[in-house]
Each structure stands twice: as C-alpha cells, then as structure tokens.
Amino acid sequence: MKTSRLRYVWILVMLGSLLLFQPNANPAPAVQANNGNVLVNGDFEAEDPATHGFIWFPPNHFLALNWYRWWVNMPAANTMIPEYDDMRPGTLRWPPYSGRHAQVYFKWGANYQAGVYQVVENLTPCVPYEFSMYVNSRGNAGTVPHTRIGLDLQGTQITLDHDHNDLIGGQMPPRTAWSAEQTILTTWERLATTAEPLGTRLTAITYANPSYTGDQDAWYDTWWDNGALVQVGFPNGKLPEPTSWNSSYINSASVQYTFDGDNLRLSWNTTGPASTQVWYQTMSTAQITTPPPMSHTMFLPLIMRADIWQATALNPTPTTSHSVSIPGMQSLQSGDKIIVRLLSRHPTADACVTEGYGNIEIVKP
C-alpha cells in the first residue's frame, strides 16, 4: 500500500515538472546546432552555475552570459535605466521565443534608450556577416517600439565595462549598419542587418527606445531571443564591382597565366592583403564568321552580346599573393579567347573596397 502511494506521488511530481518546463505544445529545443553562428551565447541559453540562469549585476539586474549592458542616462539620475532580467520559467515574462531563457529589459513611467551588445572576435575582413535576432516589444496600445539591431564595422567596445554601462559619448559608433525597426507590438519579429568587418571584429548591438503618448501610465517591455551572426555570400557569389578596372592596387606587372590540363591558372600580387576572385568569359572563334559579299545594301538588326561574366569561388582569406584556376579549358578550341578580370577586396579606414584589373585577353594555344 505504501509503495503504491509513493508511486502515485512520483507520477504527480513528474506531471508537474512537465507542465512547468513545457509551456508550449511543441517547444523549440533549448540547445541548437551552431550552424556557423559566431555569436557566443546568441540564444541566451548558457546558464551561470550559481544562478542556473543569468549573472547578477548591481543595482538588481540579470544579464545573459557573454553580453554587456548599455544605456543612455543623461543627465545621470537613473531615471532612464531599465531593469534587465532573465526571461525564465516561472516568471510573468514567459515564454521566450525558444528554449528556457531570453534577455528582457523593462520599465514603468519614463522610457529608455538601452540594449545589450557583444564584440565578436576572429572574423574575416571584408566578407558579409548577417546579424539577426528576434524581438518582442510590449506596452500600452499605441506604443512605438523603436527597436532595431546593428553591426558596428570596427568592432567598438561601446561601454567601459560591466560596471560602467553608459554609452560612451552618448552616441552609437558612426559606422553601424542598422536593421529596419520593429513594426508590431506583442509579436516575435525577426530583425536582420548585414555588414562587412573592417578588421577581425564586429559589434552586435540590440537597441530599443520605445515611446508612448496617451492617457495611461506608460510601461515598456523589450524581449530579445535567438541571436545569430553568420557569414553569408555576396549576391550571385560575386564581389561588388569596382569603380575602375585599372587599379594600381593590383600589380599589373605581376600578372601571370599558364594552361595546365583542363585549367587556366592565373596569379597576381596586390599592394596589401585582400581577397581573391576572377571574372571571366570565353569567346569561340567559331562564333565569328565572314558574311558573303552582297551587291546591294541590307540593314540588319544590331545584336549585342550580353555582358555576362562567370565568377570563380571567392577566396576570402586576405593575402598579397593571389592565384586562381579556371576550369573547362579542354572544351575550347585552339584560338578561342578567355577574357579575364582580376578582383581583390580589402578594407580602408571607412569601408571595404573592391579593386579590379582587366580586361585581360588570353588566347588558347
């Protein structure tokens, strides 16, 4: 009898646990595959052993591991600082977008200009990275969320440390690429922006500056979850076209080529480290024919060949010595032409720039 009673109690405990930790019918997994995400704890699921959740910071904030707080509080009176918390099981702010945790900050009365950020290291310069995150903003009907996310191209540390969270200078870095703003209240919405690092760092920033004009007492909630920073390709796999095809950054005297079986191998040097790509076209001598002589005048329509360039796979690793192989040479006939353009992309003080050199006309022997 005692054994049956214990078994009954145990079943009730298990059912209670399921109800507590499974608020959705089909919850997303708490830990997901990285899938190229270079954010550290981008999904906010990492737990501090002491709290089984976020880390506590004064005055009474809970912050996700590997993230920093920032806010604008001028003049300094603590009136503009929201409260940071962990969206965790058993709280009023539940459920997150997925898993068991999400970063939230909120405030009654005065609004705020605040967020969290992370400086991401060991990135490849001048290749695009997409930063995305889901946001859910709440407040009175008529509240404007003014939430967005950004990527600072220079990887700036925008506060001094965990204890000094005022945004340095009260301004965001000027070279921040921002997403569009959230448009709907009380809905999880995915925001995204893309940028190329000028070095090996990017700063991923969440931003919220909600506002409300109305008769009710204002209150604001901003929830963030499922952040990701992943390397993405250029459109159509091609570097952005350069402004000139006679760049001195590419040493024209260093350009060499050779036919090697089915490949045309090209090499060149650049003034500084840059990425590597070749655009090319092939032109068959069979395409060029001489019309027969005519004793009368005939007007024929002008047919222009589309300026379509194939591209080799981009090698994003910065280097001063570049080499590329173009396949498919055995299908060409002797005398056929390969027109090539050399491209290398590198950072300047303000932006990433594509350098180009061409057209180079190569005849198959």
Residue-level pLDDT, tens digit, the chain, 365 residues? 434 443 443 333 333 333 333 333 333 232 333 569 999 999 999 999 988 899 999 999 999 999 999 999 866 665 789 999 998 877 778 889 999 999 999 999 989 999 999 999 999 999 999 999 999 999 999 999 999 999 999 999 999 999 999 999 999 999 999 999 998 999 999 999 999 999 999 999 999 999 999 999 999 999 999 999 999 999 999 999 999 999 999 999 999 999 999 999 999 999 999 999 999 999 987 655 555 565 655 444 434 345 789 999 999 999 999 999 999 999 999 999 999 999 999 999 999 999 999 999 999 99
Nearest Cα to Cα of residue 225 among 338, 118, 100: 100
- The ranges assigned to domains in the chain are 32-232, 237-287+307-363
Q: What is the DSSP letter of 215?
A: S
CB-side exposure of 118: number of CA atoms within 13 Å?
19
The answer to whether domain 32-232 and domain 237-287+307-363 are alike in fold is no
The first and second tokens of residue 207, run together, are 């931003």
DSSP string, 328-350: -GGGSPTT-EEEEEEEEEEE-SS
Looking at domain 32-232, its CATH architecture is: Sandwich (2.60)
| Domain spanning 237-287+307-363: CATH superfamily | Immunoglobulins (2.60.40.10)
The first and second tokens of residue 276, run together, are 């590597």
C-alpha angle 289-285-335 in degrees, rounded to nearest 5: 145
Q: pTM here? A: 0.83
